[in-house]
Amino acid sequence: KQRDSRNHKQSGDSTECVAEEASLILDEMAHRLQLSTVRFFVFTLSKAFKRLFRSVCVNEEGIQRLQQAVQEHPVVLLPSHRSYMDFLMMSYLLYMYDLPLPVIAAGMDFMSMKFVGEMLRMSGAFFIRRSFGGDKLYWAVFSEYVKTMLRNGYAPIEFFLEGTRSRTCKSLTPKTGLLNIVMEPFFKGELFDVNLVPVSISYERILEESLYARELLGIPKPKESTSGLLKARRVLSEDYGSMYVYFGHPVSVRSLTEGKITRSQYNLLPRCIPQKPSADTHEFLNDAAFRLVRIQEENMVLKPWVLIATLLLQNPDGMDLSSLAEQTDWLRHLALAFGAYLDWPDHEACSEVISCSLALHRHLLSVSAGHVQLSVTDAPQVESTPEEAVFHQAVVVLSCASYRNQILHVFLRPALLAVAMQSANSNRKDDVYNCFNFLRNMFSNEFILCPGDSVQDFEEACYLLMKRGVLQVLEHEIVMSASGHSTLAFLSSVLDPFLQGYQVVSRYLCEETNENLTEKEFIPAVRNFALKLILAGRLKCYEALSSDLQKNALAAFLRLKAVRKVKVTYQVNFEGLVL
Amino acid sequence: LMASSSSSSSAQQRLRIIAGHLQKRPEDENASVAAQECKAEAPRSEPSSATPVPRRRQEIMKWNGWGYSDSRFLFNKKGQAEFTGKRYRLSGLILPSLKDWFEGTFGANLQHRSPATPSLNLSAVAPPNLNQPFVEDLKAAGLTVSHDPEDRVFRAHGHCLHEVFALREGRIGRVPDTVVWPSCHSDVEKIVELACEHNVCLIPYGGGTSVSSALECPREESRSIVSLDTSQMSRILWIDEKNLTAHVEAGIIGQDLERQLNERGFCTGHEPDSMEFSSLGGWVATRASGMKKNIYGNIEDLVVHIKMVTPRGVIEKSCLGPRMSTGPDIHHFILGSEGTLGVVTEVTLKIRPIPEYQKYGSVVFPNFQQGVACLREVARQRCAPASIRLMDNEQFQFGEFCFFLILLSFFCFDPQHLCVATLLFEGDRGKVLQHEKQVYDIAAKFGGLAAGEDNGQRGYMLTFVIAYLRDLGMDYYVIGESFETSVPWDRVLDLCRNVKERIVRECKERGVQFPPLSTSRVTQTYDAGACVYFYFAFNYRGLSDPVHVYEQVEHAAREEILANGGSLSHHHGVGKLRKEWMKESVSGVGLGMLKSVKEYVDPQNIFGNRNLL
């Protein structure tokens, strides 16, 4: 590590000072993998997992591929991140399958948990600060630490491309920093290749379900603490259904970079000197990160409940069980035609499958006289204010949305096309494409849409809908088939909450803001605005209350230059708004 | 050739020098080969004695393989390998373990032969495209000219795999239309002048050992192509003992130069692996590097003065000063110009007294990493012996058939990782022994164990026969080649590993049935890096176009080298084989500079071999 400190005398500190600082950083960061701790963890976890889950399903051919990959080249595991369970489960599985245990990049917030932080450390976690933008020394120590472990083939490195747990169960826009770090030893010729293994982890019921919904509604996330964890013991008594872990095909960094990265650009600097990725490299990393997240999405195992949740959200007034069964079956076929990885019990009747799912998620539903509706079940004892009632309902809706969100990637492209068809001025293909492209651009903070893939996505959407007999794509025109109406209607309502949500945000920016809105004030202010609309009966869409949606909308408006960020304040440019 | 290892006292050396002075010039047996009286006005004190390479080289050398016709590897009826002829130390020896190594490494089988076409089919050679007035003017000027198909075919190739492979199959591509043999500088001036006048394409030809497709006739060339064979310009014109320089005609081949200097008590110390056949002019034109460069330097360090005939006239410096500050060194336009600017005719070289004492050595390391670390330390302390080379494990295993395994005693070493460094020390006896101790002490710090003089010497001997081994392989469906690069120290290991792995992977992807031999060695050390050599060979049974596969793999390997911080070439040159990477290697501006020099010096592209640029 000494070489880092030598390279980082930017502040004019003495070498010893920097070295000492670096070693402090290292102490704070480093894992201390200990087999005894791991064994203890495995023992406790197997107990816990058995109580929590009915089953944990793993694709064993994926495990075999991983076994192979580990022998060939250093491996980087890239699991999706939906729950704290993710990395515990990963380590547990690798231990059980006799694979080398990974070292895991974990957020610093864990470390502050007394005892548990140290336990995690001893089971292979190393800790990184959530933000260290300007701290070059920290970055240098950190990246050298990771690269050294990778180069030495010490253990597989595991980190989350999405950077943090997705509170909405939609995949998050990936971060490229760590990806760059693990690819750099290949770029610099220190490794022949690196295998990236995307892992998709899905839950039939997420432990943090209502916690996330509350957080999105502005009830702050409790700081990670040991006592908090003990309270979480309550969750141990509940049924969380099954859990699915899918190990994807290893992606070779070498083949990923072929023709895209000129490795000789690293020839002119000593390799120990950190180098900022060039514009080309940055673009490549971004593209690669998106593709990896899409692989995660595609391999995500979906349960029938995901379909049911989608339908229930589209019917806020509830549905009859019979029509729910009918529509679920219809949706199931649509999803399969679009390539969804659906785990549908083959031998069971549709109604049987549905009642099972409803039972598992009964806390989000009310079922009476053959009628199902999303609703607050554990109603508060004391009569609450109208605002509180809205929030209670919103928690249910957002919880439910987190299941629908799991299947969004399947419907996303056709849904964008469906909305584009509705809003385009004509049936002309280029008009529809322009609309599609606009929507795609607008929602690129919301969903995983690979930058630059616009045409490809459009063609994919056309192809899927054509195959389904919904559209006819002629040379210059796109025409809806007679039988296509219901599919298009369904698809556009999939995007409806997002369209409404973005409209609310833009209306807020147009109507309510003064010139000097600060970033901090933005979320609470929009939430209030939406709340008022709901209370006034002018808005039915509870998802507009989600801070995730609001943040994404603002980021999109900034990106589209509808809104400008000035120093620490937002200045609103009213003319620029398009919606 | 490598026999001068025995110790010799200074008295003996003195005697030898005197003997050299007294030696009579032997009668030339072959009148046609006798040096013609030359019109050159260069001062010639005591022109030295030597028989140059015969004009009809095919009489002593293979037309479709490496080296002398009488020396070749073959598997005899008992299936034992032997090396024929009398020229080498290995000649006449039986090598019992070569068969096992050969079959084991390549999956080859002695039953499966792929013999070469026995003789050149003259009808396959296209009739010469002659520029009659030019030929007549040449003859009028008294120059020796040939249109004989054998002569022309011999000068149409170097020793790239694809070139030799095509010859073995009897496939002949574009060949020079005329061969001309100048015998001195002024002959060359005349030829170049006539070439400009009649607009023919000249391709200088020295030893013919190119491995960069440099001698291939460009397909797109429509003019008459004339091969200018420098072999008859092979005299040492003078030796200056006060300044320790020798002025030599550029056509002389390495072994003749060294032998003749040795007779006078001197040497150049320039010993590239091809020195039996490669010429002084060729060394200059490719920026050659010699095995003992640690003491004597590479060719650019050895030359004091170069004379080159270009279409614009003769380029040379006005004095023999050891160093000049007169703008960019014009020698560096000539060094590495690969025959694109003119013909190097005469060179003044530094010479040294023959070293009093020579000693070989070898060190075995537990693995390649340790070996490289040791070489790096030796370079850091600037105590590299005349030569130090490190072979990796694959080469070590190949070498075993020669090493006769004294190494069994090293139980602590894993034979799958062992590697060996071979060493050559030169100088006065006391210093050599001291130096040897210093190097062995360093080696010991990296786990190296001294493994004896004999093993070291055999290692160097292998260098000269390895090219013959390729011909043996080609008799049994095995093709291969070597290529080289230079790279900073910190990247040596990574580069070796990545390139070797890339080769294995590419072979697999392209349908090569058996894992290839993919091996590397560090052959030169510098302050800031090392020269790395790769040997790569595979069994091509089952492939429809093995040469194409070979070329694709070599191409990929070169890409890998460049991506890992290696250079395009350390000493083989660019030729036409590596041209596509020139711009990337020297930048657009750099390439433009070279092009503008070419444009000025040779606007008609008389030297039209199309190498380099």
Query: What's the average model confidence in pLDDT over A523-529?
Result: 92
Q: Which residues of B are marked as active site?
A: 533
Strand partners, B145: B180
- The residue type found at A110 is F
Using CB atoms within 10 Å of the CB of residue A53, give its burial: 0 to 12 exposed, 13 to 18 middle, 19+ buried: buried
Count of CB pairs separated by less than 8 Å, A with B: 24
Give all domains of chain B, ordered by start, each with its CATH number.
57-106 (3.30.160.650), 122-229 (3.30.43.10), 236-353 (3.30.465.10), 477-569 (3.30.300.330)
* Closest-CA distance of chain B to residue A186, Å: 10
Q: Give the model's pLDDT for residue B309.
A: 98
Using CB atoms within 10 Å of the CB of residue B3, give its burial: 0 to 12 exposed, 13 to 18 middle, 19+ buried: exposed
Selection from A547, A557, A556, A497 nearest residue A522 by Cα = A547
Interface of B with A (CB under 8 A): 490-491, 494-495, 497-498, 501-502, 562-565, 584
The closest CB to that of A264, out of B498, B502, B563, belongs to B563
Quick check: A394 and A549 in contact, CB under 8 A?
A: no
Q: Give the model's pLDDT for residue B395.
A: 81
CB contact under 8 A, A189 and B498: yes
Task: Select, from the ranges A386-390, A536-540, B123-127, B489-493, the one with the highest average predicted confidence (pLDDT).
Answer: B489-493
Quick check: B80 and B96 in contact, CB under 8 A?
A: yes
- The reply to whether A263 touches chain B by the CB within 8 Å rule is yes
- Contact residues for B498 (Cβ-Cβ < 8 A; gap 6+): A189, A192, B560, B564
CB contact under 8 A, A267 and B501: no
* Closest-CA distance of chain A to residue B586, Å: 13
CB contact under 8 A, A264 and B494: no
Eight-class DSSP state of A363: G
* Closest-CA distance of chain A to residue B503, Å: 12
CB contact under 8 A, B502 and A192: yes
- The residue type found at A255 is S
The closest CB to that of B495, out of A189, A262, A264, belongs to A189
What's the pLDDT band for A9 if we cut at 50, 70, 90? very low
B490 to chain A: which residues are within 8 Å by CB?
270-271
A192 to chain B: which residues are within 8 Å by CB?
497-498, 501-502
Q: Cα-flanking dihedrals φ and ψ of residue B240, to 5°?
A: -110, 100
CATH placement of domain A302-378:
1.10.10
- The reply to whether A278 touches chain B by the CB within 8 Å rule is no
Using CB atoms within 10 Å of the CB of residue A538, give its burial: 0 to 12 exposed, 13 to 18 middle, 19+ buried: exposed
CB contact under 8 A, A189 and B563: yes
A271 to chain B: which residues are within 8 Å by CB?
490-491
CATH fold of A498-576 reads Arc Repressor Mutant, subunit A (1.10.10)
User: Three-class SS of residue B81?
Assistant: strand
CB contact under 8 A, B502 and A271: no
Quick check: B377 and B383 in contact, CB under 8 A?
A: no
Say if residue B450 carries a ligand binding annotation: no
Q: Give the model's pLDDT for residue A224.
A: 56
- HSE value, Cβ hemisphere, 13 Å, CA-based, for B171: 7
Token pair belonging to B473: 């392989």
Question: The complex's ipTM?
Answer: 0.85
- The reply to whether A133 touches chain B by the CB within 8 Å rule is no
* Closest-CA distance of chain B to residue A254, Å: 11
Say if residue B174 carries a ligand binding annotation: no
Per the rule left: phi > 0, alpha: psi between -120 and 50, beta: everything else, A218 is left
Token pair belonging to B367: 């693995």
- Contact residues for B353 (Cβ-Cβ < 8 A; gap 6+): B13, B244, B265, B266, B267
Say if residue B208 carries a ligand binding annotation: yes
- Contact residues for A64 (Cβ-Cβ < 8 A; gap 6+): none
Token pair belonging to A180: 């760059």
Strand partners, B396: none
DSSP string, B237-285: EEEETTTTEEEEETT-BHHHHHHHHHHTTEE-----TTTTT-BHHHHHH
Lowest mean pLDDT among A15-29, A38-52, A545-559, B42-56: B42-56
Q: Cα-flanking dihedrals φ and ψ of residue A107, to 5°?
A: -65, 150
Token pair belonging to A159: 């980190």
Say if residue B341 carries a ligand binding annotation: yes
Question: pLDDT tens for residues A76-105?
Answer: 999 999 988 888 889 889 999 999 989 988
User: Three-class SS of residue B106?
Assistant: helix
Q: Distance between terminal CA atoms of chain A?
A: 53
Q: Which residue has the higher pLDDT, A234 or B391?
A: B391
State the Cα angle at B294 between B293 and B300, rounded to 5°.
40
For residue A264, the chain B residue with the least C-alpha distance is B563
Q: Give the model's pLDDT for residue B8.
A: 47
Q: Are strands A569-572 and A563-566 parallel, antiparallel or unpaired?
A: antiparallel
d(CA B106, CA B478): 7
Quick check: A556 and A506 in contact, CB under 8 A?
A: no
- Contact residues for A520 (Cβ-Cβ < 8 A; gap 6+): none
- Contact residues for A526 (Cβ-Cβ < 8 A; gap 6+): A504, A505, A508, A550
CB contact under 8 A, A266 and B565: yes
CB contact under 8 A, B563 and A271: no
Question: pLDDT tens for residues A320-352?
Answer: 999 999 999 999 999 999 999 999 988 888 889
pLDDT at A46 over 70: yes
Quick check: B117 and B170 in contact, CB under 8 A?
A: yes
The closest CB to that of A192, out of B501, B565, B584, belongs to B501
- The residue type found at A252 is S
Q: Which residue has the tokens 């060339």?
A: B221
Selection from A103, A259, A257, A104 nearest residue A193 by Cα = A257
A72 to chain B: which residues are within 8 Å by CB?
none
Q: Give the model's pLDDT for residue A348.
A: 86
Q: Give the model's pLDDT for residue A497.
A: 95
A31-299: in CATH 3.40.1130.10:
yes
Q: Which stretches in chain B have pLDDT values below 50?
A: 1-8, 22-48, 401-411
- The residue type found at B40 is A
Q: Give the model's pLDDT for residue B17.
A: 53
- The reply to whether A151 touches chain B by the CB within 8 Å rule is no
- The reply to whether A192 touches chain B by the CB within 8 Å rule is yes
A266 to chain B: which residues are within 8 Å by CB?
565
Token pair belonging to B47: 């022109």
Using CB atoms within 10 Å of the CB of residue B450, give its burial: 0 to 12 exposed, 13 to 18 middle, 19+ buried: middle
A190 to chain B: which residues are within 8 Å by CB?
494
The closest CB to that of B494, out of A190, A262, A267, belongs to A190
Tell me if domain A302-378 and domain A498-576 are identical in fold. yes
Quick check: B154 and B118 in contact, CB under 8 A?
A: no
For residue A262, the chain B residue with the least C-alpha distance is B563
The closest CB to that of A192, out of B491, B497, B565, belongs to B497
* Closest-CA distance of chain A to residue B510, Å: 16
Measured over the CA atoms of residue A170, residue A173, residue A177 and residue A183, the dihedral's sign is positive
Question: pLDDT tens for residues A468-524?
Answer: 999 998 888 999 888 888 999 999 999 999 999 999 999 998 887 766 778 888 899
- Show me where the domains of chain A are located: 31-299, 302-378, 498-576
CB contact under 8 A, A189 and B490: no
B562 to chain A: which residues are within 8 Å by CB?
264
- Contact residues for B155 (Cβ-Cβ < 8 A; gap 6+): B175, B176, B179, B203, B205, B208, B215, B227, B229
d(CA B433, CA A353): 88
Selection from A471, A483, A307, A171 nearest residue A458 by Cα = A471
pLDDT at A550 over 80: yes
B565 to chain A: which residues are within 8 Å by CB?
189, 264, 266-267
CB contact under 8 A, B565 and A267: yes
A270 to chain B: which residues are within 8 Å by CB?
490
Rg of the Cα atoms in chain B: 24
Token pair belonging to A301: 């195992």
Selection from B404, B409, B417 nearest residue B371 by Cα = B417
Token pair belonging to A573: 């440019």
Instruction: Estimate the crossing angle of helix B132-140 against helix B185-198, to 10 degrees.
Output: 150
Selection from A550, A528, A548, A531 nearest residue A539 by Cα = A531
d(CA A93, CA A97): 6
For residues A372-408, one letter each, b for 16 or more C-beta atoms within 10 angstroms of the residue's C-beta and e for the rest, the string is bbbbbeeeeeeeeeeeeebbbbbbbbbbbbbbbbbbb
Task: Select, from the ranges A276-280, A281-285, A344-348, the one with the highest average predicted confidence (pLDDT).
Answer: A281-285
Q: Which of A267, A268, A271, A273 to mutate to test the interface with B (most CBs of B within 10 A)?
A: A267
A74 to chain B: which residues are within 8 Å by CB?
none
Token pair belonging to A177: 């920093």
What's the pLDDT band for A10 if we cut at 50, 70, 90? low
Q: Give the model's pLDDT for residue A112.
A: 67
Question: pLDDT tens for residues B90-130?
Answer: 888 888 888 888 898 899 999 999 999 999 999 999 999 99
- The reply to whether A190 touches chain B by the CB within 8 Å rule is yes
pLDDT at A570 over 80: no
pLDDT at A121 over 70: yes
pLDDT at A15 over 80: yes
For residue A269, the chain B residue with the least C-alpha distance is B565
CB contact under 8 A, B565 and A270: no
Token pair belonging to A261: 């990265």
CB contact under 8 A, B564 and A192: no
d(CA B475, CA A571): 80
Query: What's the average model confidence in pLDDT over A392-410?
Result: 93
